């Protein structure tokens, strides 16, 4: 599982590296910070398109080949970004970083099921998924230290080291037998992908604007906010551990409970702002709930995909990348119209919309189970009938 943890750590490190140095990049190339921020949008689009390509054609490359290609693309993208002489080359490098994230996320999540025993797949998925929040915890402070030297070091350092380390761990693994996908068709995935896209949009919108809320609401310095966000990412750890026993049989029920809880928390984060400590606490709870919900969504998709795991996780990675873009757009519009209160309410609505299809399915399954049990239950003999034994 170390190779899969490292792949998700590297993918997240690549996606995080640009954010803290956007003002420096803008000054270097003579553009506004908002214009430089579009590099992140480009990376997200590239990641989403690459993930869709994995869903359609990934079986030809295989799980190991997908991960190797992802590490190679991430290394090349970080090198191009750090050495970029102009904004065009930097954009190409960041597009490669986004595409690498699509390959690494899809490949690692699919391999967590394919490379583990049936009874341990939920645990394997949870352990691999820890790579992304741990990249926040370790990568953000290291990237900040490198940025103090030069923004190019920040783009290069953590993502490149993570990619090289992941490739080394992957190379040391025994080569698994290649299997031909023969599982169920993926016709049911769109039904799953739409609510996942909505929920990812809510979570992505919260991540995009969380730092700005803390800075503008409480006049906290960006440096302190960076430390707070790194500490908040630790909240993903207990949820990851607690959810493992439930992923195999109750993934959909987890999606309902955690989705509704996330809606309440993101609304409170935007509307209720009594102080920086309280808001940080609410955000920590949101991280715990939302990241655990993400693992449950991946578990449900893997259960429904049969042997088409790589295709399913390609769709999963695409929902994450495109959901991030949708969340940023919806959150930005809500913030412009009604401030952080409207932001919280809008993101909560996205979480609720993403939960409703799963809630409907749970209610429907419960109704069918009760009906089946009623038909199987023997009739209760009426008092006074020939079969009413021992009435006295």
Mean pLDDT in the chain? Answer: 83
Residue whose pair of structure tokens reads 């913030």 in the numeric block: 335
Residue 302 pLDDT grade (very low, low, confident, very high; cuts 50, 70, 90): confident
Does the pLDDT at position 279 exceed 90?
A: yes
Question: For the chain, what percent of residues have pLDDT higher than 70?
Answer: 88
What is the rounded CA–CA span in Å between residue 77 and residue 97?
A: 5
257: Cβ–Cβ under 8 A, 6 or more apart, which residues?
A: none
Token output for 82: 């750090």
Does the pLDDT at position 374 exceed 70?
A: no
Residue 376 pLDDT grade (very low, low, confident, very high; cuts 50, 70, 90): low
Is-contact 218 276, C-beta < 8 A?
yes
- Among 162-171, 283-292, 309-318, 377-386, the range scoring the smallest mean pLDDT is 377-386
Residue 294 pLDDT grade (very low, low, confident, very high; cuts 50, 70, 90): very high
Burial class from Cβ neighbours inside 10 Å (0-12, 13-18, 19+) for residue 249 reads: exposed
- Among 111-120, 139-148, 338-347, the range scoring the smallest mean pLDDT is 139-148
Radius of gyration of the chain (CA): 23
Does the pLDDT at position 336 exceed 70?
A: yes
Homologous superfamily in CATH for domain 188-368: MFS general substrate transporter like domains (1.20.1250.20)
What is the rounded CA–CA span in Å between residue 209 and residue 233?
A: 15
The average pLDDT across 104-132 equals 85
pLDDT for 78 equals: 93
Domain ranges for the chain, please list them: 1-174, 188-368
318: Cβ–Cβ under 8 A, 6 or more apart, which residues?
A: 48, 51, 52, 55, 102, 193
What is the rounded CA–CA span in Å between residue 73 and residue 296?
A: 28
Residue whose pair of structure tokens reads 């050495």 in the numeric block: 83
Q: How many CB atoms within 10 Å of residue 49?
A: 17
What is the rounded CA–CA span in Å between residue 295 and residue 185?
A: 22
The average pLDDT across 214-220 equals 84
What is the rounded CA–CA span in Å between residue 187 and residue 306?
A: 12
CATH 1.20.1250.20 matches 1-174: yes
Residue 181 pLDDT grade (very low, low, confident, very high; cuts 50, 70, 90): very low
**Residue 30: left (phi > 0), alpha (psi -120 to 50), or beta?**
left
Token output for 3: 């190779």
C-alpha 289, offset from chain centre: 12
353: Cβ–Cβ under 8 A, 6 or more apart, which residues?
A: 195, 198
Does the pLDDT at position 327 exceed 60?
A: yes
Alpha helix stretches (DSSP H) within the chain: 2-16, 22-29, 33-82, 87-114, 121-129, 131-149, 151-171, 189-218, 222-232, 236-243, 251-271, 276-305, 309-376
Between residues 296 and 22, the one the model is more confident about? 296
The reply to whether 1-174 and 188-368 are identical in fold is: yes
What is the rounded CA–CA span in Å between residue 104 and residue 251?
A: 23
Residue 222 pLDDT grade (very low, low, confident, very high; cuts 50, 70, 90): low
Supply the DSSP string of 152-217, one letter for each residue.
HHHHHHHHHHHHHHHHHHHHTSPPPPP----S--GGGHHHHHHHHHHHHHHHHHHHHHHHHHHHHH
- Among 65-74, 89-98, 212-221, 291-300, the range scoring the smallest mean pLDDT is 212-221
Q: How many CB atoms within 10 Å of residue 391?
A: 8
The average pLDDT across 40-54 equals 85
């Amino acid at each position: 599982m170390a190779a899969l943890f490292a792949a998700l750590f590297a993918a997240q490190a690549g996606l995080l590296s640009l954010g803290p140095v956007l003002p420096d990049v803008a000054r270097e190339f003579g553009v506004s910070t908002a214009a430089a921020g579009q590099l992140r949008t480009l990376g997200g689009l590239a990641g989403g398109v690459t993930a869709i390509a994995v869903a359609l054609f990934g079986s030809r490359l295989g799980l190991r080949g997908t991960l190797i290609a992802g590490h190679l693309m991430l290394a090349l993208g970080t090198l191009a970004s750090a050495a970029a002489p102009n904004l065009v080359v930097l954009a190409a490098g960041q597009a490669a970083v986004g595409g690498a994230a699509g390959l690494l996320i899809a490949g690692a999540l699919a391999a967590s099921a394919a490379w583990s025993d049936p009874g341990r797949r939920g645990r394997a998925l949870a352990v691999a998924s820890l790579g992304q929040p741990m990249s926040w915890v370790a990568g953000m402070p290291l990237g900040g230290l490198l940025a103090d030297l030069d923004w190019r070091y920040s783009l290069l350092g953590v993502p490149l080291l993570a990619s090289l380390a992941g490739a080394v761990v992957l190379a040391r693994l025994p080569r698994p037998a290649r299997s031909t996908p023969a599982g169920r068709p993926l016709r049911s995935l769109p039904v799953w992908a739409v609510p996942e896209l909505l929920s990812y949009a809510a979570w992505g919108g919260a991540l995009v604007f969380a730092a700005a809320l803390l800075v503008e609401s409480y006049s906290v310095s960006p440096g302190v906010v960076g430390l707070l966000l790194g500490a908040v990412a630790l909240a993903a750890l207990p949820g990851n551990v607690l959810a493992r026993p439930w992923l195999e049989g109750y993934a959909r029920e987890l999606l309902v409970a955690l989705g509704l809880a996330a809606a309440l928390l993101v609304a409170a984060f935007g509307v209720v702002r009594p102080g920086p400590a309280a808001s940080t606490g609410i955000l920590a709870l949101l991280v715990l709930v939302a990241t655990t919900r993400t693992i449950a969504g991946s578990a449900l998709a893997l259960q429904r995909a049969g042997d088409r795991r790589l295709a399913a996780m390609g769709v999963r990675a695409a929902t994450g990348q495109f959901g991030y873009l949708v969340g940023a757009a919806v959150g930005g519009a809500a913030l412009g119209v009604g401030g952080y209160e409207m932001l919280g309410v809008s993101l909560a609505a996205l979480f609720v919309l993403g939960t409703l299809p799963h809630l409907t399915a749970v209610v429907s399954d419960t109704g069918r189970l009760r009906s089946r049990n009623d038909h199987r239950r023997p009739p209760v003999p009426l008092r006074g009938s020939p079969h009413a034994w021992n009435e006295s």
